[in-house]
Structure 1
Amino acid sequence: MQMLYNSDNFAVVAFEVPAREAAPVAAEAEGALTRGGYEIVDKFSRKEIYLEGAMAESFKAGVEALIQTSPSVEEIDAYIERFASLMHQPLVLH
């Protein structure tokens, strides 16, 4: 788990899990095959979403393209806000 982004509005955390937990050395030798995704938390609506698979790859590609333009916090938040309509899971703190 790695915190990637944290603003007043959103937090984004990356989760990476080895693709083959039984053989982590083999997975590393084959090009670091991993699975995982991104958890996005909307701090104001207190909702979250976990993106994995194709949706996570799309999110990552969008963020990488955005970073090339040296964005402001507002521009990053605006990009993340595109995913807010998908957030249905209420945020629960333990």
Structure 2
Amino acid sequence: MHMLYNSPSFSVVKFDIQVAEPQLGEFLTANPELQLQRGGYEIVDKFSRKEIFIEGALAQQFQDGVEALIEQDPSEEDLDDFIESYASMGHQPVVMH
């Protein structure tokens, strides 16, 4: 678990889940981009007190978008606007234990 971003509006945490390497068949060995990856991003909207966990293709899309945005030297507002587009999908309330 790695805290990637924390602003007054949002926090983004990356989760990398370690899995045992399966014995790869010839097809997956020749096409490593098709191998299943584990992990994702938890995005918390601090104002609405909701969160979402994204994984798979959506997590990859999020990562690619952040990397493209970082190349443009964004402001905190630019990053928050981008993150908000994903956070708005969150319906899970944040619950403290």
Find the residue that maps to 1:86 and give its secondary structure. Answer: coil
Is 1:53 paired with 2:53?
A: no
Structure with greater Cα Rg: 2
* Pairwise CA RMSD: 2.0
Gaps of 5+ in 2: 24-28
**TM-score, normalised relative to structure 2:** 0.81
**TM-score, normalised relative to structure 1:** 0.84
Higher share in strand: 1
| Conserved? CA contact 2:50–2:93, under 8 Å | yes
How far is 1:83 from its partner? 1.3
Deviates more, 1:10-19 or 1:40-49: 10-19
Gaps of 5+ in 1: none
CA distance in 1, matches of 2:87, 2:54: 12
Match of 1:65 among 68, 74, 77: 68
Moved over 2 A (4+): none
Aligned length: 87
Letter in 2 for 1:11: S
